[in-house]
């Protein structure tokens, strides 16, 4: 099929995207960017996005992954963030601070972490390993007594404002005739092995030649009636906003060996720690911050690593949901293996904002060109779940 024939065919096609936060909006944006001329409808049940993962996230980006495809997606994301003004106009700003993650490891991790750095560098990430002495020289506030290694990147890592990114993507999509419909997608209708439409609660159905499931932590629910067991679960993650006299300039996104993380934000810092596996149930509907984490695990871990954090004041706390792929902690991106016009873009397990641009581009390529082009996202396909062959991501936070 030539591009011309493709675009003629697509002019009469209708894409329905369920979920209009960062992943859904990025897909809509890139569909137009690649010249898709058909109808695009984004169904979003909460236009305020106040409980979306996107709005509640820590909005950071790293290239330090154990899975090459994730590294490529992050590199694409960082390049996209740097091109915000060219894409969206001179006033566009997502506050991208390109300052690097600092990921710490104990003495037992040195060999594996250095091998990880080699792999990451081979994939194009500008990551380097530091000895504890080197890390201490660069970050004088860091307690390195029990460390063996620290890794960091000189570029393509840092943080940004997810809300601004979402607003720009939505604007970019709406300006090019993408319709955002307020409503709850209740069911996906299938006939003859193909999606034919998406039914809304309260009545009405939107015709679909393609249905994209970008519903984040709720993405398993909307395909359950089709008999599809999508291994995506809503897992609560709490973020604490703190004030402390600790100097913010030059401070990276720090990931400690305890699992605690901290980075500068506004006039203070934000920080968090994941609950233990046995205390991490599906949390659908539960947005109450897990305050106990601060006293029990987070503060002791931070005060050990950064003695200056003996003094801190908690100013706020919020909880959002990771859309955890319980099968292998990697995104699920691509077509269903039997219902071929049903496409997944979910399961990012804590890295969905940084990977939204690459996902949007990839899904748009799939629809417009019939396959992935910029990055081969096929390792993230649904087929691995059906065949029971996980693609484990090892660097998970």
Ligand X SMILES: Cc1cc2nc3c(=O)[nH]c(=O)nc-3n(C[C@H](O)[C@H](O)[C@H](O)COP(=O)(O)OP(=O)(O)OC[C@H]3O[C@@H](n4cnc5c(N)ncnc54)[C@H](O)[C@@H]3O)c2cc1C
* Binder of ligand X out of 16, 23, 84, 246 (CB under 6 A): 23
Cβ-based neighbours of 246, under 8 Å, separated by 6 or more? 141, 269, 306, 308, 309
Question: Does the protein bind ligand X through residue 348 (CB under 6 A)?
Answer: yes
Cβ-based neighbours of 5, under 8 Å, separated by 6 or more? none
Question: Does the protein bind ligand X through residue 358 (CB under 6 A)?
Answer: no
Task: Look at the block and give the residue holding tokens 């649904």.
Answer: 382
Interacting span for ligand X (CB under 6 A) from 15-23, 99-107, 120-128, 297-305 = 15-23
Stretch 245-274 residues interacting with ligand X (CB under 6 A): none
Task: State the Cα–Cα distance between residues 288 and 385, nearest whole angstrom.
Answer: 31
Question: Does the protein bind ligand X through residue 217 (CB under 6 A)?
Answer: yes
Interacting span for ligand X (CB under 6 A) from 276-284, 299-307, 351-359, 383-391 = 351-359
**DSSP characters over 98-119:** ---EEEEE-GGGHHHHHHHHHH
* Binder of ligand X out of 100, 105, 197, 216 (CB under 6 A): 216
Task: State the Cα–Cα distance between residues 216 and 247, nearest whole angstrom.
Answer: 35
User: In a 3-state reduction of DSSP, which class is residue 243?
Assistant: strand
Comparison of 24 and 148: residue with beta carbon closer to ligand X? 24
Comparison of 350 and 381: residue with beta carbon closer to ligand X? 350
Alpha carbon of residue 192 to chain centroid: 33
Strands 14-18 and 210-213: parallel
Closest residue to ligand X: CB criterion: 352
Assign 3-state DSSP to the chain and report helix, strand, coil percentages, each to 5.
35, 25, 40
* Binder of ligand X out of 15, 56, 94, 178 (CB under 6 A): 56
Question: Does the protein bind ligand X through residue 214 (CB under 6 A)?
Answer: yes
Interacting span for ligand X (CB under 6 A) from 85-93, 316-324, 366-374, 380-388 = 316-324
Question: Does the protein bind ligand X through residue 322 (CB under 6 A)?
Answer: yes
Rounded least distance, CB 8 to ligand X, Å: 31
Question: Does the protein bind ligand X through residue 223 (CB under 6 A)?
Answer: no
* Binder of ligand X out of 7, 131, 179, 184 (CB under 6 A): 184
Which residues is 103 bridged to in the sheet? Answer: 151, 255
- Name which of 360, 27, 42 is nearest 200 in CA terms: 42
* Binder of ligand X out of 321, 329, 335, 361 (CB under 6 A): 321
Question: Does the protein bind ligand X through residue 24 (CB under 6 A)?
Answer: yes
Contact yes or no for 299/312 (Cβ under 8 A): yes
Comparison of 23 and 168: residue with beta carbon closer to ligand X? 23
Task: State the Cα–Cα distance between residues 348 and 350, nearest whole angstrom.
Answer: 6
Cβ-based neighbours of 295, under 8 Å, separated by 6 or more? none
* Binder of ligand X out of 150, 354, 375, 385 (CB under 6 A): 354
| Burial (CB count <10 Å: 0-12, 13-18, 19+), residue 12 | exposed
Question: Does the protein bind ligand X through residue 120 (CB under 6 A)?
Answer: no
Stretch 142-171 residues interacting with ligand X (CB under 6 A): none
Question: Does the protein bind ligand X through residue 209 (CB under 6 A)?
Answer: no
What is the token pair recorded at 276? 């233990």
Comparison of 148 and 348: residue with beta carbon closer to ligand X? 348
Question: Does the protein bind ligand X through residue 36 (CB under 6 A)?
Answer: no
Comparison of 10 and 159: residue with beta carbon closer to ligand X? 159
* Binder of ligand X out of 144, 149, 173, 218 (CB under 6 A): 218
What element of type H or E holds 95? Answer: none
What is the token pair recorded at 105? 């490891």
Interacting span for ligand X (CB under 6 A) from 3-11, 171-179, 320-328, 371-379 = 320-328
The secondary structure of residue 274, as a DSSP letter, is P
The length of the chain in residues reads 397
Total of residues contacting ligand X (CB under 6 A): 41
Question: Does the protein bind ligand X through residue 78 (CB under 6 A)?
Answer: no
Comparison of 59 and 149: residue with beta carbon closer to ligand X? 59
Would you tell me which residues interact with ligand X (CB under 6 A)? 18-24, 43-46, 49, 52-54, 56-60, 184-185, 214-218, 222, 237, 239, 320-323, 346, 348, 350-354
């Amino acid at each position: 099929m030539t591009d011309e024939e493709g675009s003629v065919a697509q002019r009469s096609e209708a894409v329905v995207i369920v979920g209009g936060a960062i992943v859904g909006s990025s897909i809509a944006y890139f569909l137009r960017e690649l010249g898709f001329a058909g109808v695009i409808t984004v169904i979003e049940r909460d236009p305020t996005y106040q409980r979306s993962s996107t709005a509640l996230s820590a909005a950071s980006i790293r290239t330090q992954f154990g899975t090459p495809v994730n590294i490529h997606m992050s590199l694409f994301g960082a390049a996209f963030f740097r091109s915000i003004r060219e894409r969206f106009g001179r006033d566009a700003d997502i506050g991208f601070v390109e300052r690097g993650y600092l990921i710490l490891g104990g003495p037992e991790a040195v060999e594996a972490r250095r091998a990880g750095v080699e792999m990451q560098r081979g994939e194009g990430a500008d990551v380097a390993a530091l000895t504890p002495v080197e890390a201490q020289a660069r970050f004088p506030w860091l307690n390195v007594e029990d460390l063996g290694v620290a890794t960091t990147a000189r570029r393509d890592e840092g943080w940004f404002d997810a809300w601004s990114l979402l607003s720009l993507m939505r604007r970019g999509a709406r300006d090019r005739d993408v319709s955002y419909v307020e409503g709850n997608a209740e069911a996906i209708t299938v006939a003859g092995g193909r999606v034919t439409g998406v039914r809304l609660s309260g009545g009405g159905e939107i015709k679909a030649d393609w249905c994209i499931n970008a519903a984040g932590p709720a993405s398993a629910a909307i395909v359950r009636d089709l008999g599809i067991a999508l291994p995506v679960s809503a897992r609560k993650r709490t973020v604490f906003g703190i004030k402390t006299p600790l100097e913010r300039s030059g401070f990276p996104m720090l990931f400690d060996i305890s699992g605690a993380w901290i980075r500068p934000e506004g006039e203070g810092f934000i920080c968090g720690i994941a609950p233990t596996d046995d205390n991490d149930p599906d949390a659908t509907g539960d947005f109450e911050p897990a305050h106990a984490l601060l006293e029990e695990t987070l503060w002791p871990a931070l005060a050990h690593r950064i003695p200056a954090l003996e003094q801190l004041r908690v100013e706020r706390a919020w909880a959002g949901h990771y859309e955890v792929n319980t099968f292998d902690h990697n995104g699920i991106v691509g077509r269903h293996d039997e219902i071929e016009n049903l496409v997944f873009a979910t399961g990012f397990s804590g890295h969905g904002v940084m990977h939204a641009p690459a996902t949007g581009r990839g899904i748009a390529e799939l629809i417009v060109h019939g396959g992935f082009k910029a990055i081969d996202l096929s390792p993230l396909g649904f087929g691995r779940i059906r065949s029971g062959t996980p693609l484990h991501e090892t660097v998970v936070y």
